[in-house]
Structure 1
Amino acid sequence: MTKSELVEMIAEQQQGITRREAEVVVNTIFSVIGDALAAGDHVELRGFGSFTTKARQARTGRNPKTGEAVEVPAKAVPHFKPGKELRERVDQAG
């Protein structure tokens, strides 16, 4: 599902909300979650899951084209851990 499909589904399922309003809501939610993660915060949505950041250490990588060693700097990457209800729901669907 793409973001535009998500917006469309929200607009269809919620009476009295336009597609434009649904788009603003979805964009705002994504923006707030992204801002919180960038600030180093933990975002938990009960029943759905939690978003955190994980630290990756610096390492030596390799350029696949030339085979040359390349230093990859340390960085923080987003991580999602699904909640129990979401895991069970996906397991039942599969």
Structure 2
Amino acid sequence: MLKSHLIQHISKKNPSLSEEIVSKILNIFFSLIVDYLKNDCRVELRGFGSFTVRSYNIKTANARLAKSKYKKVYFRASSKFIKIINQ
């Protein structure tokens, strides 16, 4: 599903919200998630899952001296979400 499909689907489900308003809401929502993850905070959406950022070092001869250079975003689905998918 693309972001544009999500916007269209939400605006169809809620006729009082135009696609422009839904687009602005989604942009704010996603930017908030990115801002929290940039600050190494955990983002938890109950019933959906959680996003965390993990840092890892570059491979060097002496790993203790290397600073963490790379970050990855990890997603872990909630048990409720997994149950719904597996039905």
TM-score by length of 2: 0.85
Extract structure 1 runs of 4+ deviating beyond 3 A. Answer: none
Query: 1:32-85: CA deviations, max 9, x gaps?
Result: 00000001111101000001101122127xxxxxxxxxxxx7311111111111
Cα-Cα RMSD: 1.4
Equivalent-residue separation in structure 1 for 2:8 and 2:80 (angstroms): 24
Equivalent-residue separation in structure 1 for 2:75 and 2:14 (angstroms): 27
Q: How does 1:69-80 map to 2 (within 5 A)?
A: 74-80=69-75
What SS does the aligned partner of 1:7 have?
helix
What SS does the aligned partner of 2:40 have?
coil
Map of 1:32 onto structure 2: 32
Amino acid at match of 1:20: E
Gaps of 5+ in 2: 61-67
Map of 1:68 onto structure 2: none
Equivalent-residue separation in structure 2 for 1:26 and 1:48 (angstroms): 16
Q: How does 1:47-66 map to 2 (within 5 A)?
A: 47-59=47-59
Gaps of 5+ in 1: 61-72
Matched, 1:22 2:17: no
What SS does the aligned partner of 2:15 have?
coil
C-alpha displacement at 1:21, in angstroms? 0.5
Equivalent-residue separation in structure 1 for 2:82 and 2:59 (angstroms): 33
CA contact 1:59–1:74 (8 Å) conserved in 2: no
